[in-house]
Amino acid sequence: MFDLAELYQQLILDHNRSPRNRRRPEHPQRCAEGYNPLCGDRVTVYLSVGDDRITDVAFEGSGCAISTAAASLMTEAVKGKTVQEAKALFKRFQSMVTSGGPAMGEPGDRSLGKLDAFAGVRHFPARVKCATLAWHTLNAAIDDKTNLVTTE
């Protein structure tokens, strides 16, 4: 049985305590808001894209430790990436937290670096929405969709 304590890895606790890129940029090109009614997590993602590359990404919001850490690690993971790379990373992250995917080192290794800290989330289906909220919201910001994103 997967232990709940294992879900809250050091990296997740650290990013919850001191989230990276939690700020409101002065002139973000795009932003989107996300809401996870199941847990009450709220996140706003601010995005600037130049030459098809994410030049700045930041967030504001309040929610559980998983959602805050996920938003923080998401901003670190996609900053500097192209829009296409960020979307591909979102798909891989989503697949990891829902189905797990191949283990590290195996053929088809799908290691996502620091984002692997969320691999345990798949054992807690209600938490998957906390972990993916910031990513869904990022996706909406990339597509310039201004409607509220909800996980329901």
Q: What is the smallest separation between the CB atom of 83 and Zn ion, expressed in angstroms?
A: 27
Give the residue ranges of DSSP H helices in 8-122: 10-17, 65-78, 83-99
- Rule CB under 5 A: which of 12-51 touch Zn ion? 39, 41
Q: How far is the CB of 67 from Zn ion (least distance, A)?
A: 4
Instruction: Candidates 11-19, 58-66, 92-100, 142-150: pick the segment binding Zn ion (CB under 5 A).
Output: 58-66
Q: Which of 69, 66, 45 is nearest to 130 (CA)?
A: 66
Distance CA 65, CA 126 (A): 14
Nearer Cβ to Zn ion (87/124): 124
Q: Does 65 bind Zn ion (CB under 5 A)?
A: no
Q: Which of residues 96-135 bind Zn ion (CB under 5 A)?
A: 130
Chain centroid to Cα 32, Å, comes to: 13
Name residue 52's amino acid: D
Span interacting with Zn ion, options 19-27, 60-68, 75-83, 105-113, rule CB under 5 A: 60-68
Binder to Zn ion among 11, 22, 60, 64 (CB under 5 A)? 64
Distance of closest approach, residue 5 Cβ to Zn ion, in angstroms: 17
Of residues 12 and 54, the one with the C-beta less far from Zn ion: 12
Secondary structure class of 27 (helix, strand, coil): coil
106-137 exposure pattern, b = at least 16 Cβ within 10 A, e = fewer:
eeeeeebeebebbbbbbbeeebbbbbbbbbbb
Residues contributing to the site for Zn ion (CB under 5 A): 39, 41, 64, 67, 130
